[in-house]
Amino acid sequence: MLKGNFDIPLDFLHTRTPPLIGVDISASAVKMVELSESPKKNGYVVERYAIEALPKDAVSDGNINNLDAVSESLVRALKRMGTRIKNASLALPAAAVITKKILLPSGLREEDLEYQVESEANQYIPFAMDEVNLDFQVIGPAPGNAEEIEVLLAASRKANVEDRIAAAQSAGLKAIVVDVEPYAAEMAFDQIRAQLPGGAVDQCVALVDIGANVMNINVLRNGQSVYTRDQQLGGEQLTQQIQNVFGLSAEEAEAGKRNGGLPDNYESDVLAPFRENVASEVARALQFFFTSSQFNEVNYIVLAGGCAALAGLDDAVATRTQVNTLVANPFAQMTLSSRIKPRQLQTDAPALMIACGLAMRRFDPS
């Protein structure tokens, strides 16, 4: 660890932590998940969760623009959760974090390793070192060279970290872990991979997270990311189309999208074209993957994010791509506490991938 840079909690990559809740601050909502250990081997219990909407533009492009609004939403979500836990695991968007695999001599003492990492970081980080937080993890021996080790370096500007820490603190939370959103989603994805035939060993699985404004495609093989891409597409476009077609306010359109009650032609005139557009963009993203990697097949598509629960979206994507498609539910094999409504959780589950992965950091032994 580069302790000199850790005046703010930052733990992208390791260490088991005390009891905490996973807190995902996205563009449209704050989402919280609390898990506990189950008596089952490697099992979890979903204790509580909450989703609280954010005002428009309170968070955009991963940046917190309205600290008070985010803090107020966090407070409301905590109240609904009814938890006594105040420790939190947060995440930064991938765009706010620089990651790089580097090679260093094996056998270095910890202090020498820290010095070497910081020296290497200067080559890849376009900011002054006193403006960033750093973390690193030794991955293992370098491929084909026993005299070197492979190290994953992660860095983010302190301002990015401070905004999330401040929002958490103003809501009465203590940030114990600051992770990276794709890493958190990958941790939750392990729960989904276990649901696939044979654990999807040696198969490519595309995790497609459709948020408010961005669709992230992360192709994983044996739990490791082999390709990632962002496209400008999300649920906000559907909300705007509802506004335009039916003459509604943004709030009315969002409520109609989530809760129903829109005119009869909503399905044919608005939702169906949006579904087809998403399916086309997923198919296009897979083609980019095939042309830029050694792989020519994706075995499964897993839809996550707030849009994943839209009626018929999984069928539209499966039809367009000819790939088995399912809606993400990282909680499917977990035990549910008596406080959880199973049907509601199944609807909300795709939007809780990152929060779930952050909550699982409580049990990470690495």
Bin 312: left if φ > 0, else alpha if -120 < ψ < 50, else beta: left
**Whether residue 293 has pLDDT greater than 70:** yes
Q: Give the model's pLDDT for residue 66.
A: 94
Q: How many domains, in total, are found in the chain? A: 2
Contact between 23 and 74 under an 8 Å Cβ cutoff? The reply is: yes
189 and 207 part of one domain: no
**Whether residue 60 has pLDDT greater than 60:** yes
**Whether residue 22 has pLDDT greater than 60:** yes
pLDDT in tens, 172-227: 999 998 999 988 999 999 999 999 999 999 999 999 999 988 999 999 999 888 99
210 and 318 part of one domain: yes
Contact between 191 and 364 under an 8 Å Cβ cutoff? The reply is: no
Question: Crossing angle, helix 353-360 and helix 181-193, to 10 degrees?
Answer: 90
Q: Give the model's pLDDT for residue 189.
A: 95
Total count of residues recorded for the chain: 366
Q: Give the model's pLDDT for residue 1.
A: 31
Task: Give whole-number Cα distances, 81 to 49, 84, 337, 338, 349, in Å.
Answer: 6, 9, 13, 13, 16
Give the SS3 label for residue 285. Answer: helix
241 and 123 part of one domain: no
5 and 132 part of one domain: yes
Q: Find, among 56, 61, 33, the residue nearest to 45 by Cα.
A: 33
Looking at per-residue pLDDT, the higher value among 31 and 57 belongs to 31
> Which structure tokens are listed for 291?
């042309």
Pairing of strands 21-25, 29-37: antiparallel
Domain that holds residue 26: 1-194+332-366
CATH classification at residue 60: 3.30.420.40
**Whether residue 3 has pLDDT greater than 50:** no
AA letter at 61? D
Task: State what percent of residues in the chain have pLDDT above 90.
Answer: 63
Q: Give the model's pLDDT for residue 7.
A: 42
In sequence order, which residues have a C-beta less than 8 Å from that of residue 195 and are 6 or more positions away?
A: 332, 333
153 and 241 part of one domain: no
Contact between 89 and 20 under an 8 Å Cβ cutoff? The reply is: yes
pLDDT in tens, 141-176: 888 888 999 888 888 988 889 999 999 999 999 999
258 and 299 part of one domain: yes
Confidence of residue 279 (pLDDT cuts 50, 70, 90): very high
Q: Which sign, positive or negative, has the C-alpha torsion 76, 355, 85, 170? A: negative
Task: Give whole-number Cα distances, 189 to 27, 127, 178, 236, 356, in Å.
Answer: 21, 33, 19, 25, 9
Q: Give the model's pLDDT for residue 327.
A: 97
- Residue that the structure tokens 């609807």 belong to: 347
**Whether residue 313 has pLDDT greater than 90:** yes
Q: Give the model's pLDDT for residue 365.
A: 58
**Whether residue 21 has pLDDT greater than 90:** yes
Contact between 361 and 17 under an 8 Å Cβ cutoff? The reply is: yes
Region of poorest pLDDT, from 118-132, 168-182, 216-230, 242-256: 118-132
CA distance 176 to 168: 11
Q: Which sign, positive or negative, has the C-alpha torsion 93, 284, 328, 42? A: negative
Bin 151: left if φ > 0, else alpha if -120 < ψ < 50, else beta: beta
56 and 185 part of one domain: yes
170 and 141 part of one domain: yes
Instruction: Please give the radius of gyration of the chain, using alpha carbons only, rounded to the nearest integer.
Output: 21
Region of poorest pLDDT, from 7-21, 74-88, 237-251: 7-21
CA distance 340 to 326: 22
